[in-house]
Structure 1
Amino acid sequence: MNLGWLSIFRLGLVQMGLGAIVVMTTSTLNRLMVVELALPAVLPGLLVALHYGIQITRPNWGFLSDQGGHRTRWIIGGIVILAVGAMLAAAAIPLFESSFWLGLALSILAYALIGLGAGASGTSLLALLATATAPHRRPAAATITWLMMIFGIAVTAASVGAFLDPYSHALLLRIVGIVTSGAVLMTVLAVWGIERGVKAGPPPEPMPFREGLAEIWSETKARHFTIFVFLSMSAYFMQELILEPYAGLVFGFTPGESTSLSGAQNGGVFVGMLIVGIAATGFRFGSLRSWVVAGCLGSAGALTIISLIGQLSIAGLVPAVMLLGLFNGMFAVAAIGSMMALAGEGREAREGTRMGLWGAAQAIAAGFGGLLGAAAVDLLRQTIDTPQAFASVFILEAALFVAAAVMASKIISNRAYQTGRAIMPGE
């Protein structure tokens, strides 16, 4: 039996919990390190890169899901590890003030756990979706679950921003504790019993992990799409670690205001995803390829606006960031729809391995992009004014989005995804 719509919505709650925890570690804690603790932006950049780098193990989780199942235990276990990592990362913030090295050591441990938890839980969830969702429902399932994740990110960022002022370390720990414990409880309730009601397909032929991964990499579509994911996600995540410090250093935003800015951005992402989900799936308007290209080019334009208003010292950062989120969302959900459709192509019973491969490419790109953006800002601020330093990085990110749009126009089939699903043999 395939997943019904209710089960898909329940799995979306897991994505919501994942997004709620991760957004605090990549936005709020990042801002506190750079602005309140006056640490170089490259430090949180390295920590976030560590948590993404560890997610290179995602193909392993997907392969294990393909081989043996039992995804529920990996989903719940992963979210628990992620929650513990987030609490330790928050605890490291006050520790930095008394002992930098102890704070750094605890942060390294925390972000390593965050990477392991996100990789285990997220990949197992995607493998369950890819294998237990009927082919014609996969794009819609991807849209629903990612919209719920973005909703969780936006609500968490906005709520944390509202309650975090006036800032104190004790208040930070209370808020992170509430969010993480709520996410764990919601995940357990959401996934309990779902896997037992899903009829598993025939298991793949047993083979070593390296051989199974090499088999997937030999598929031209899977290989080219992996490269596209890396390029586009490098652009997508380059501003992640510098946008809130940009708001604080250039526009004078408080910690609460800058955290709310992240909420505004992810609110825009939510709207962008909703637009594509309704247009492409409900009304069959436009191909997923055209939505990917439009999202990339629109993101490039929004980044150009963000870079200009900082140099010209004019208002409008919040609407510009919301516009960036809108086009980011359009790009992301169209790319995810293509990913879910492609996961079922090629050798059967390898959906988890393909999702793991693309998840690893995304994670590596996220770490690389975030670290590159943070390091570039630190380096440029040594030689040019702060607004110009941030603007230069935003323009570089815009250029990567343009390159991703060009690549998408060549590797994503317009005909195959016109209706949001892969064309089956004989159609």
Structure 2
Amino acid sequence: MTLSWLSIVRLGLVQMCLGAIVVLTTSTLNRLMVVELALPAVLPGLLVALHYGIQITRPSWGFLSDTGGHRTFWIVSGMIALALGGWGAAASVVLLETSFALGLSVAILSYALIGLGVGASGTSLLALLATATAPTRRAAAATITWLMMIFGIAMTAGVVGSLLDPYSASRLLTIVAIVGGVAVLLTLLATWRVEANVVARTEPDPMPFREGLAEIWAEPKARAFTLFVFLSMTAYFMQELILEPYAGLVFNFTPGQSTQLSGAQNGGVFLGMVAVGVIATGFRRGSLRAWVIAGCGGSAAALTSIALLGQAGPTAPLLPAVIALGFFNGMFAVAAIGSMMKLAGEGREAREGTRMGLWGAAQAIAAGFGGLLGAALADIARQFTADASAFGSVFLFEAALFLSAAWMARRVMASDPPLASLQPGE
């Protein structure tokens, strides 16, 4: 048996909960540290990078879920760890007001726990989707789960932002505790008996983790896809820390306008994901490989436009180009996740979780590396040239990375068949 549409939506609720807790650390707590506590922006940046770095443990979590045959246990356990880490991170902000050393110590431990929780829960969730979703539903499953994650991020940021005013430490701790508690409860309800109703492949005679990981790395397609994930996600995240400063410095956007620009970009991501889900699954048009290549190529074109608009001056129409970037980013991302699900089931059986963990680790490392790389390159370039040219050169470099990723996708996913050629249940 494979996952029904209802089960896919239920598992999407878990992804929504993951996004809801993580966004507190990347937006709300980040803002409190920099503005209310007047701490250097590099501090929350390094803490977020820590949580990404800890996710190098994702292959271990995937291996455990493969060999144990209880992915639901790791999904729920990871969510509990994530909720505790999120509350600890909020507590560290409160402690930083009175004791920097104590607050920083609690923050480091909490962000490490967040990374472990995301790794355990997220990897096991994707492994379950990869093993139990029918091939014809994978693009839609990836779309549904990621759209729900974006919804969870947007909803939590908006609601928590409104409830935090007027700000107080007790209000912050209460709100974060409620968000974490609701996330754990929803995860328990969403995963209840889902795994028990589908065919779950597990390793009957588990080998040591290092041997299992080495076995996966020895598969040419898995190894090549890992490199593709790292390259494409580095390109995906390079603009994360520099797009809003670019809008402010080159186009004279106010803080409110640059925030709205970021919201418009996320709106484009949403539309791109919906487009792939509807056309690929509903109309059976195009293969996942074709959608990945189109998303990478379109992202490169949008980044080139953004770079050239900076040369045209502050009155140039930046907003449409940023929405287009979001659209093609969303198209690429959801097709890449669908491809992960497809490729996770290829090669040796009962290693889906390990493969998803390996690719999840590559994605997490690329997320931290890409953001820092983009910011560093922009800072260096600004020492030698005007802001428009400095930022533009980074966007062009990012576009080149996307084109390289498109070429690599063509090679790695060469055997990917059109979705229209697949019959239900294949």
1:344 paired with 2:345, answer yes
Amino acid at match of 1:18: L
Is the CA contact 1:338–1:417 (under 8 Å) kept in the aligned structure 2?
no
How far 1:318 moved relative to its partner?
5.0
How far 1:95 moved relative to its partner?
4.7
Amino acid at match of 1:336: I
TM-score by length of 2: 0.86
How far 1:141 moved relative to its partner?
2.3
1:123 paired with 2:130, answer no
Q: Distance in 1 between matches of 2:176 and 2:128?
A: 28
Q: Distance in 1 between matches of 2:358 and 2:198?
A: 24
1:360 paired with 2:370, answer no
How far 1:376 moved relative to its partner?
3.7
Is the CA contact 2:139–2:338 (under 8 Å) kept in the aligned structure 1?
yes
Is the CA contact 1:42–1:371 (under 8 Å) kept in the aligned structure 2?
no
Q: Distance in 1 between matches of 2:219 and 2:347?
A: 7
Percent identity (aligned): 72
Q: Distance in 1 between matches of 2:401 and 2:247?
A: 22
How far 1:161 moved relative to its partner?
5.3
Note closer, same or farther for the CA distance 1:37–1:258 as it changes in structure 2 (3 Å cut): farther
Is the CA contact 2:142–2:335 (under 8 Å) kept in the aligned structure 1?
no
Amino acid at match of 1:212: G
Alignment of 1:255-274 (within 5 A): 261-274=261-274
Is the CA contact 1:241–1:374 (under 8 Å) kept in the aligned structure 2?
yes
Note closer, same or farther for the CA distance 1:189–1:103 as it changes in structure 2 (3 Å cut): same
Q: Distance in 2 between matches of 1:193 and 1:187?
A: 12
Counterpart position of 1:253: 255
How far 1:91 moved relative to its partner?
3.7
1:187 paired with 2:187, answer yes
Counterpart position of 1:112: 112
Amino acid at match of 1:365: A
Counterpart position of 1:56: 56
Structure 1 unaligned spans of 5+? none
Counterpart position of 2:212: 212
Note closer, same or farther for the CA distance 1:102–1:116 as it changes in structure 2 (3 Å cut): same
Task: Please give the root-mean-square deviation of Cα atoms over the aligned residues, in Å.
Answer: 3.2
How far 1:231 moved relative to its partner?
0.2
1:327 paired with 2:328, answer yes
Amino acid at match of 1:252: T
Structure 2 unaligned spans of 5+? none
Q: Distance in 2 between matches of 1:100 and 1:305?
A: 44
Counterpart position of 1:13: 13
1:47 paired with 2:47, answer yes
Q: Distance in 2 between matches of 1:161 and 1:299?
A: 31
Alignment of 1:160-199 (within 5 A): 160=160, 173=173, 175-199=175-199
Alignment of 1:73-152 (within 5 A): 73-93=73-93, 95-96=95-96, 98-152=98-152
Amino acid at match of 1:265: Q
CA-to-aligned-CA distance 1:356-408 (integer Å, 9 cap, x gap): 11111111111211222344445556666666654443333223222212222
How far 1:270 moved relative to its partner?
1.6
SS of the equivalent of 1:251 reads coil
TM-score by length of 1: 0.86
How far 1:260 moved relative to its partner?
5.5
Counterpart position of 1:404: 405
Q: Distance in 1 between matches of 2:416 and 2:4?
A: 25
Q: Distance in 1 between matches of 2:389 and 2:99?
A: 33
Amino acid at match of 2:69: G
